[in-house]
Amino acid sequence: MIAVLSGGVGAARFLQGLLAIVPPASVTAIANVGDDTVLHGLHISPDLDTVTYTLAGAIDPHQGWGLAGETWHAMEALERYGGTTWFRLGDRDLATHLYRTQRLRDRVPLSAVTAEITAAWGLDLTLLPVTDDPLHTRIVVPDEGEIEFQEYFVHRRHDVRVSAVRFAGAVACRPAPGVLRALGDADVLVIAPSNPIVSIAPVLSVPGVDDAVRRRRDRCVAVSPIVGGAALKGPADRLLRDLGHEVSVVGVARIYRDQAAVLVIDEVDAALAPAVEAEGMRCVVGPTVMHGPAEAAALARLVVEAIG
C-alpha cells in the first residue's frame, strides 16, 4: 500500500508514473482541497480534478489542467454578462462541477462524490480529499490583507509578494474517512513534488494528518519540487523566498525533515546532497523532471525503492 500526499499538476504526473509500476488499487492519493472554491455557485476542486483528469488520460497536456479537446462556449457566453471568466471552466469540465455541486447539495460528502467521479473515469486508485470539511487557503498580501487562493493563483497569476499563508477552517476539519487509515497502513508514504506551502501544507494542516505522517516518518519519502533552485511550475520558489525559506533542496529538507526520512532531489542538485543529509534526511539523487510518463514511472520507481 502506498499513500501519496498530493497537490495538483506535479502530484498528478507523479501518480501517473506510480500507477504504471504498482497496482493502482494499492495507491491512495490524499489531496489538497485548500484550493477549492465556489464560483457561480459551483463547487470547484482543482487538485482533485487535475489528478482525476491526468490519471484518466483526459487532461489538457499543454495547460496541465482542464480537459483535452475542450470547448469554451459557456465562458465565451458569460463574457456577454461581464461575468467572472478569469477562472476558465471548459464546457465538459463544467459537468464535473455541476455533478459535484448537486451531490454536495444532496448531502453526499466530498470524499464520496470524489469516489463516484473517479469511478466514472474508470480509475482504480483511491483518491481522497484530505477532508470533507471546509478548508480555505488564504494568501496574505502586504498592504492589502487576505485574499482567496484562486484570486492569488489564477486571477493575479501568483504575481504578488506574499507575507503569510493561512488555512482557514483547518482547526475544525476532520480527516476524510480513510485518510488516517491509509497513512497508518501504507508501506510507503510519499510527499509528492507539489508546492510545500500551498499544496502540501494545507493537507498537513488538517488536525491528525501531520501527526499520522510523522509517526510513519521512517517510511516516508518526499520528492523535492525545487530543482536547481527553482520551481518547475508555479510559484513555489517565490513563495518559499517570500516566506523566508531557502529556495533549494536544502530549504525543502528543512520543511519536510520531521515528516519524511528521505528526500529525493534532482541530479542537477547532486552537490547539495550532503547539505540535505546534514538536515537529518537521507538524500536520494536521480532524474526527477517528469517530461512524460516514462520519466514519471522512473521517478516513482526511485521513490518506492528509496524505502525498503
Report the amino acid identity of residue 296: A
Convert 182-198 into a string of H (helix), E (strand) and C (coil). Answer: HHHHCCEEEECCCCHHH
Minimum CB separation of residue 46 from a copy of itself in Å reads 17
Number of residues assigned to the chain: 308
Minimum CB separation of residue 164 from a copy of itself in Å reads 27
With respect to a copy of itself, which residue has the nearer C-beta, 86 or 267? 86
CB-CB contact of 24 with 40 (8 Å) = no
With respect to a copy of itself, which residue has the nearer C-beta, 38 or 172? 38
Cα–Cα distance, 238 to 197 (Å, whole number): 10
Minimum CB separation of residue 190 from a copy of itself in Å reads 29
Minimum CB separation of residue 102 from a copy of itself in Å reads 5
With respect to a copy of itself, which residue has the nearer C-beta, 21 or 78? 78
| Grid coordinates belonging to 149 | 487562493
DSSP 8-class letter at 155? I
With respect to a copy of itself, which residue has the nearer C-beta, 71 or 277? 71
With respect to a copy of itself, which residue has the nearer C-beta, 69 or 308? 69
Minimum CB separation of residue 53 from a copy of itself in Å reads 12
Half-sphere exposure at residue 228, Cβ-oriented, CA atoms within 13 angstroms: 7
Q: Which residues bind a copy of itself (CB under 8 A)?
A: 38-43, 71, 73-78, 80-84, 91-99, 101-102, 104-105, 116-117, 120-121
With respect to a copy of itself, which residue has the nearer C-beta, 132 or 242? 132
Minimum CB separation of residue 178 from a copy of itself in Å reads 21
**3-class DSSP state for residue 225?**
coil
Instruction: State the Cα torsion 110-30-175-49 to the nearest 10°.
Output: -20
- Each residue of 110-128: b (16+ CB within 10 Å) or e? bbebbbebbeeeebebbbb
